[in-house]
Amino acid sequence: MSAAVPDLGNPDLYRSDARFAMWRDYAVADELVWSEPGSSPHGFWSVFSHEACRGVLAPSAPFTSEYGMMIGFDAETPDHAGGRMLVVTDGEHHTHLRRLITPFLSRTNATTLDRFIDTEVRKCLAEALAAGRVDVAMTVGPRLPAAVVCEILGVPPEDRERLVELTNHAFGGSDGTFDKMSPSEAHSEILMYFYELVERRRSAPGDDLVSTLVSDGGLSVRDVLFNCDNVLIGGNETTRHSITGCFHALSTVPDALDRLRADPTRIRTVVEEVIRWTSPAMHVLRVATEKVEVCGRTLPAGSPVAAWLPAANRDERVFQEPQRFLMDRQPNKHLGFGNGPHHCLGAALARAGLTALLRALVEQVRSVTVTGPPEWLRSNLTQGYLHLPVELEPM
Ligand code: HEM
């Protein structure tokens, strides 16, 4: 264990590129790092290597998500959504919730949503091309996932602007860029909105996710709200940054779009590399259910352990030249969508969004140039962009 380790939950650590060197050193040494109480009331452990992160999240690992899956929660300060919201529920109830929600986010549904996604991507790109120079972190990035999530949940089109605005405030970082309300106020408003939507769907059900959750006899209104929130957060908070990061990644490779035009079958491989290189889910936390060995050290039951996914995804023992965005990287066993029973349920949708974006870029854009340094979100949970100014050269 390193001496004088900073509180790794401090969001300021993740506003600069220095984080990559920090993560690389920890991953290469397969470190298990303790952060003293601060961002988390009782402190927490961290793992960084690909092997350790995969191990902590593995199906057989003696860890639970039910106390919460992010820094700040632990056995003594549990998340009140534990056991009710999919991502912080284990066991049979997790299986039940996953079964209810899967059809709306699965590959099959991603295919039926393809047309919708394609239309939205083209709309966003047309606006960006008309403007020439855009901050993709404020425009294309948030718009596409918000539209898709609203579609899945059954949010009527007239309410979508409001939901996108609220989502930006709730999850756009705590640096004051979105300053009409605090993140917690915005989050409460979102839940109030879903409360109204649940009431509407109760009397007039549709074929959307909210209606399905409402008509499941086993879920209280509170449980329905928690799970709408899970999909809303899961779908918006991460995907917006992989979309923004896709522009960033392409700008690092000369002739990236020409190369894809020459061989569009490479898009599938590029999508995986975008997920690895951007790794928007920064950490996921688990709490040990029994005594467990992690990185050669025995931790007692009740120990909270954060797995830093971008560190694992740039572990040089698994990925050659991990800092580079390599369009042909194969194999690419990234942990961007997590691992084990909570593996991202929206992975197919996220991939579909990036695929549609890359296809549209190949058709319409000659080159992508980043015109200013990326500004990173002040967050320990989401590795993302506050601003990314780009110039798009049309075909
Ligand atoms: C779970 C990442 C897109 C919905 C997860 C987890 C990760 C992740 C790492 C595991 C959490 C854990 O182990 O505690 C990402 C990334 C995305 C993305 C990087 C985009 C690039 C989406 C989308 C949706 C979504 C588009 C839905 C519209 C969910 C849900 C879970 C989840 C519902 C919980 C699954 C469970 O607990 O069984 N995601 N996600 N995600 N994600 Fe995603």
Q: Can you tell me the distance from the alpha carbon of 262 to that of 250, in angstroms, rounded to the nearest whole number?
A: 15
Torsion angle, CA of 109/161/276/367, rounded to 10 degrees? Answer: 110
Q: Which residue is it, tokens 């999530």?
A: 149
287 lines ligand 1 (CB under 6 A): no
DSSP conformational letter for 281: B
Residue 319 in this model has a pLDDT that exceeds 60 = yes
Looking at residue 102, its pLDDT comes to: 93
The CA 342 to ligand 1 mean position distance, Å, reads: 8
pLDDT in tens, 49-77: 999 999 999 999 999 999 999 999 999 99
116-125 per-residue burial string, b: 16 or more CB within 10 A, e: under 16: ebbebbbebb
Looking at residue 160, its pLDDT comes to: 83
Residue 179 in this model has a pLDDT that exceeds 70 = no
pLDDT in tens, 1-39: 445 789 999 999 999 999 999 999 999 999 999 999 999
Do the beta carbons of residue 139 and residue 124 sit within 8 Å? yes
Of 393, 258, 273, 260, which Cα lies nearest the Cα of 330?
Answer: 273
Residue 171 in this model has a pLDDT that exceeds 80 = no
Residue 110 in this model has a pLDDT that exceeds 70 = no
149 lines ligand 1 (CB under 6 A): yes
- Copy the structure tokens of residue 128: 């960006």
pLDDT in tens, 232-275: 888 888 999 999 999 999 999 999 999 999 999 999 999 999 99
Phi, psi of 385 (to 5 degrees): -105, 135
Lowest mean pLDDT among 109-123, 175-189, 240-254: 175-189
281 lines ligand 1 (CB under 6 A): yes
Global confidence as pTM: 0.95
261-295 per-residue burial string, b: 16 or more CB within 10 A, e: under 16: eeeeeebeebbbbbbbbbbbbbbbbbbbbeebebb
Do the beta carbons of residue 144 and residue 123 sit within 8 Å? no
Looking at residue 330, its pLDDT comes to: 97
212 lines ligand 1 (CB under 6 A): no
- Copy the structure tokens of residue 384: 């993302």
Q: CA 90 → CA 12, 83, 191, distances in Å?
A: 32, 7, 23
CB contact set of 79 (below 8 Å; sequence gap of 6+): 67, 68, 69, 73, 88
Looking at residue 327, its pLDDT comes to: 98
Q: Is the ipTM of this complex over 0.90?
A: yes
Return the ligand 1 atom nearest residue 97 CA: 38
